[in-house]
Amino acid sequence: MTIKRIVFATGNAGKIKEIQAILADLGLEVLSMKDAGVSADIEEDGSTYEENALIKSRAVAACLGERGQQEGTVVMADDSGLEIDFLNREPGVHSARYMGEDTSYRIKNANLIERLEGVEDERRGARFVCAIAVVLPDGRELTSRGVIEGRIGYEEKGENGFGYDPIFYVPEFGRTTAELTEEEKNRVSHRGNALRLMKEQLKEINGSKSRPL
Ligand code: IMP
Protein backbone atom coordinates (compact mmCIF):
# COMPACT_ATOMS: atom_id res chain seq x y z
CA MET A 1 0.00 0.00 0.00
CA THR A 2 1.45 3.35 -0.97
CA ILE A 3 0.60 6.50 0.92
CA LYS A 4 0.18 9.48 -1.36
CA ARG A 5 -1.50 12.08 0.77
CA ILE A 6 -2.62 13.22 4.18
CA VAL A 7 -6.04 14.77 4.60
CA PHE A 8 -6.12 16.91 7.73
CA ALA A 9 -9.59 17.14 9.30
CA THR A 10 -9.76 20.90 9.81
CA GLY A 11 -11.29 23.86 8.07
CA ASN A 12 -8.67 26.16 9.60
CA ALA A 13 -6.27 27.38 6.87
CA GLY A 14 -3.74 28.57 9.48
CA LYS A 15 -3.46 25.07 10.94
CA ILE A 16 -2.92 23.51 7.49
CA LYS A 17 0.01 25.84 6.80
CA GLU A 18 1.59 24.97 10.14
CA ILE A 19 1.05 21.24 9.58
CA GLN A 20 2.41 21.36 6.02
CA ALA A 21 5.60 22.98 7.34
CA ILE A 22 6.12 20.42 10.10
CA LEU A 23 5.32 17.37 7.92
CA ALA A 24 7.18 18.62 4.82
CA ASP A 25 9.96 16.02 5.06
CA LEU A 26 7.49 13.11 4.76
CA GLY A 27 7.20 14.13 1.10
CA LEU A 28 3.42 13.65 1.07
CA GLU A 29 0.71 15.97 -0.15
CA VAL A 30 -1.11 17.55 2.83
CA LEU A 31 -4.69 18.62 2.09
CA SER A 32 -7.40 20.30 4.13
CA MET A 33 -10.92 18.84 4.16
CA LYS A 34 -11.90 21.56 1.71
CA ASP A 35 -9.02 20.67 -0.65
CA ALA A 36 -10.18 17.04 -0.49
CA GLY A 37 -13.80 18.08 -1.16
CA VAL A 38 -15.05 16.71 2.16
CA SER A 39 -17.46 18.50 4.45
CA ALA A 40 -18.68 16.97 7.66
CA ASP A 41 -20.50 18.42 10.62
CA ILE A 42 -18.72 16.61 13.43
CA GLU A 43 -19.78 16.71 17.06
CA GLU A 44 -16.70 16.68 19.28
CA ASP A 45 -18.30 15.10 22.32
CA GLY A 46 -15.41 12.98 23.56
CA SER A 47 -14.07 13.39 27.08
CA THR A 48 -10.37 13.44 26.10
CA TYR A 49 -8.35 15.22 23.42
CA GLU A 50 -7.49 11.83 21.90
CA GLU A 51 -11.15 10.78 21.70
CA ASN A 52 -12.12 14.04 19.99
CA ALA A 53 -9.25 13.81 17.50
CA LEU A 54 -10.27 10.21 16.71
CA ILE A 55 -13.93 11.21 16.27
CA LYS A 56 -12.86 13.78 13.65
CA SER A 57 -10.43 11.57 11.77
CA ARG A 58 -12.85 8.60 11.73
CA ALA A 59 -15.67 10.79 10.38
CA VAL A 60 -13.52 12.14 7.53
CA ALA A 61 -12.10 8.66 6.79
CA ALA A 62 -15.70 7.35 6.56
CA CYS A 63 -16.65 10.15 4.11
CA LEU A 64 -13.67 9.37 1.91
CA GLY A 65 -14.37 5.63 2.19
CA GLU A 66 -17.97 6.08 1.03
CA ARG A 67 -16.66 7.79 -2.07
CA GLY A 68 -13.97 5.18 -2.65
CA GLN A 69 -11.31 7.85 -2.10
CA GLN A 70 -9.55 6.45 0.92
CA GLU A 71 -6.88 4.53 -0.94
CA GLY A 72 -3.43 5.92 -0.33
CA THR A 73 -4.82 8.45 2.14
CA VAL A 74 -3.93 9.00 5.78
CA VAL A 75 -6.62 10.96 7.62
CA MET A 76 -5.26 13.10 10.45
CA ALA A 77 -7.02 15.31 13.01
CA ASP A 78 -6.08 17.21 16.13
CA ASP A 79 -7.78 18.37 19.26
CA SER A 80 -6.29 20.79 21.73
CA GLY A 81 -6.96 22.91 24.75
CA LEU A 82 -5.61 25.02 27.58
CA GLU A 83 -5.32 23.56 31.09
CA ILE A 84 -4.96 25.96 34.03
CA ASP A 85 -3.80 24.26 37.22
CA PHE A 86 -5.47 26.76 39.57
CA LEU A 87 -8.82 26.11 37.82
CA ASN A 88 -8.54 22.32 38.11
CA ARG A 89 -7.29 22.11 34.52
CA GLU A 90 -10.19 24.09 33.08
CA PRO A 91 -11.10 24.95 30.32
CA GLY A 92 -9.36 21.77 29.04
CA VAL A 93 -11.24 19.82 26.36
CA HIS A 94 -13.89 22.53 26.47
CA SER A 95 -11.45 25.33 25.53
CA ALA A 96 -13.15 26.26 22.25
CA ARG A 97 -16.60 26.26 23.89
CA TYR A 98 -15.56 28.06 27.10
CA MET A 99 -18.03 30.93 27.73
CA GLY A 100 -19.67 30.06 24.38
CA GLU A 101 -18.18 29.25 20.99
CA ASP A 102 -18.95 32.73 19.63
CA THR A 103 -17.59 34.71 22.58
CA SER A 104 -14.50 36.70 21.63
CA TYR A 105 -11.12 35.70 23.02
CA ARG A 106 -10.71 39.23 24.41
CA ILE A 107 -13.58 38.38 26.75
CA LYS A 108 -12.51 34.80 27.47
CA ASN A 109 -8.93 35.88 28.21
CA ALA A 110 -10.06 38.77 30.44
CA ASN A 111 -12.32 36.36 32.31
CA LEU A 112 -9.51 33.87 32.96
CA ILE A 113 -7.16 36.62 34.17
CA GLU A 114 -9.91 37.81 36.50
CA ARG A 115 -10.45 34.30 37.86
CA LEU A 116 -6.73 34.23 38.74
CA GLU A 117 -6.74 37.61 40.43
CA GLY A 118 -4.41 37.64 43.44
CA VAL A 119 -2.94 34.23 42.54
CA GLU A 120 0.85 34.31 42.76
CA ASP A 121 3.25 33.28 39.95
CA GLU A 122 3.96 29.76 41.26
CA ARG A 123 0.30 28.84 41.20
CA ARG A 124 -0.42 30.23 37.71
CA GLY A 125 0.90 27.12 35.95
CA ALA A 126 -0.84 26.12 32.70
CA ARG A 127 -0.24 24.07 29.58
CA PHE A 128 -1.49 23.77 26.06
CA VAL A 129 -2.17 20.13 25.17
CA CYS A 130 -2.66 18.70 21.70
CA ALA A 131 -3.60 15.19 20.60
CA ILE A 132 -3.16 14.05 17.02
CA ALA A 133 -5.12 11.06 15.72
CA VAL A 134 -4.58 9.20 12.48
CA VAL A 135 -6.72 6.67 10.62
CA LEU A 136 -4.68 4.67 8.12
CA PRO A 137 -6.21 3.39 4.87
CA ASP A 138 -6.40 -0.15 6.34
CA GLY A 139 -8.33 1.12 9.38
CA ARG A 140 -5.45 1.14 11.86
CA GLU A 141 -5.54 4.06 14.29
CA LEU A 142 -2.68 5.97 15.91
CA THR A 143 -2.55 8.80 18.45
CA SER A 144 0.14 11.10 19.83
CA ARG A 145 0.14 13.88 22.41
CA GLY A 146 2.23 17.04 22.76
CA VAL A 147 2.40 19.64 25.51
CA ILE A 148 3.87 23.08 26.13
CA GLU A 149 4.19 24.23 29.75
CA GLY A 150 3.76 27.86 30.75
CA ARG A 151 1.95 30.29 33.05
CA ILE A 152 -1.09 32.52 32.80
CA GLY A 153 0.00 36.15 32.50
CA TYR A 154 -1.47 39.21 34.22
CA GLU A 155 -2.59 40.93 31.01
CA GLU A 156 -2.97 40.14 27.29
CA LYS A 157 0.28 40.54 25.37
CA GLY A 158 1.13 40.07 21.68
CA GLU A 159 -0.72 40.01 18.40
CA ASN A 160 0.39 36.70 16.84
CA GLY A 161 -1.28 33.33 17.07
CA PHE A 162 -4.90 32.97 18.12
CA GLY A 163 -7.18 32.01 21.01
CA TYR A 164 -5.53 32.01 24.42
CA ASP A 165 -2.05 32.85 23.08
CA PRO A 166 -1.97 36.44 24.49
CA ILE A 167 -2.30 35.19 28.10
CA PHE A 168 -0.02 32.13 27.80
CA TYR A 169 3.44 33.11 29.05
CA VAL A 170 6.36 30.83 28.20
CA PRO A 171 9.16 31.27 30.79
CA GLU A 172 11.79 29.85 28.41
CA PHE A 173 11.17 32.79 26.02
CA GLY A 174 10.07 35.40 28.55
CA ARG A 175 7.16 36.10 26.18
CA THR A 176 3.61 34.93 25.53
CA THR A 177 2.93 32.59 22.60
CA ALA A 178 1.24 35.58 20.94
CA GLU A 179 4.65 37.33 21.02
CA LEU A 180 6.49 34.44 19.36
CA THR A 181 7.03 34.23 15.61
CA GLU A 182 5.24 31.39 13.83
CA GLU A 183 8.51 29.54 13.51
CA GLU A 184 9.41 29.95 17.20
CA LYS A 185 5.97 28.73 18.24
CA ASN A 186 6.05 25.68 15.92
CA ARG A 187 9.39 24.62 17.40
CA VAL A 188 8.03 24.37 20.95
CA SER A 189 4.24 24.20 20.68
CA HIS A 190 1.94 21.40 21.82
CA ARG A 191 0.78 20.92 18.21
CA GLY A 192 4.34 20.93 16.87
CA ASN A 193 5.42 18.38 19.49
CA ALA A 194 2.42 16.10 18.88
CA LEU A 195 2.90 16.28 15.10
CA ARG A 196 6.60 15.46 15.34
CA LEU A 197 5.78 12.39 17.47
CA MET A 198 3.13 11.31 14.95
CA LYS A 199 5.58 11.81 12.11
CA GLU A 200 7.97 9.36 13.80
CA GLN A 201 5.18 6.78 14.14
CA LEU A 202 4.30 7.17 10.46
CA LYS A 203 7.93 6.86 9.39
CA GLU A 204 8.30 3.72 11.50
CA ILE A 205 5.22 2.08 9.98
CA ASN A 206 6.33 3.07 6.50
CA GLY A 207 9.76 1.57 7.10
CA SER A 208 8.51 -1.74 8.52
CA LYS A 209 8.55 -4.59 6.03
CA SER A 210 5.78 -6.67 7.61
CA ARG A 211 2.98 -4.08 7.60
CA PRO A 212 3.98 -1.06 5.56
CA LEU A 213 1.50 1.78 5.13
P1 IMP B 1 -9.35 22.82 18.60
O2 IMP B 1 -8.32 21.81 18.90
O3 IMP B 1 -9.20 23.44 17.27
O4 IMP B 1 -10.73 22.34 18.92
O5 IMP B 1 -9.05 24.03 19.59
C6 IMP B 1 -9.39 24.06 20.93
C7 IMP B 1 -9.24 25.43 21.52
O8 IMP B 1 -8.10 25.43 22.37
C9 IMP B 1 -8.99 26.57 20.56
O10 IMP B 1 -10.18 27.10 20.07
C11 IMP B 1 -8.30 27.57 21.45
O12 IMP B 1 -9.21 28.21 22.26
C13 IMP B 1 -7.46 26.68 22.34
N14 IMP B 1 -6.13 26.50 21.77
C15 IMP B 1 -5.59 25.36 21.26
N16 IMP B 1 -4.35 25.56 20.81
C17 IMP B 1 -4.07 26.87 21.02
C18 IMP B 1 -2.94 27.68 20.74
O19 IMP B 1 -1.92 27.25 20.18
N20 IMP B 1 -3.05 28.97 21.11
C21 IMP B 1 -4.14 29.48 21.70
N22 IMP B 1 -5.22 28.79 21.97
C23 IMP B 1 -5.20 27.47 21.64
For the chain, list the domains and their CATH numbers: 5-205 (3.90.950.10)
The conformation of residue 118, written as its DSSP 8-state character, comes to: T
Å from CA of 47 to ligand 1 middle: 16
pLDDT at residue 208 in the model: 60
79 is catalytic: yes
Distances (CA, A) of 49 to 18, 90, 129: 19, 13, 8
User: Model confidence at 201, in pLDDT bands (50, 70, 90)?
Assistant: very high
pTM score, whole prediction:
0.92
Residue 207: pLDDT above 80? Answer: no
Residue 213: pLDDT above 60? Answer: no
Residue 209: pLDDT above 50? Answer: no
- 103, 51 Cβ separation under 8 angstroms: no
CA 103, 105, 108, 110 torsion-angle sign? negative
DSSP 52-89: HHHHHHHHHHHHHHHTT--TTEEEEEEEEEEEEGGGTT
Tell me the mean pLDDT in the region 22-50.
89
Q: Is 162 in the pocket of ligand 1 (CB under 6 A)?
A: yes
pLDDT single digits (tens) 154-179: 999 999 989 999 999 999 999 999 99
Tell me the mean pLDDT in the region 60-72.
85
User: Model confidence at 41, in pLDDT bands (50, 70, 90)?
Assistant: confident
pLDDT single digits (tens) 116-168: 999 999 999 999 999 999 999 989 999 999 999 999 999 999 999 899 999 99
Percent of the chain whose pLDDT exceeds 90: 70
**How many angstroms separate the CA atoms of 76 and 124, rounded?**
33
- Closest atom of ligand 1 to CA, residue 98: 12
**Is residue 149 helix, strand or coil?**
strand
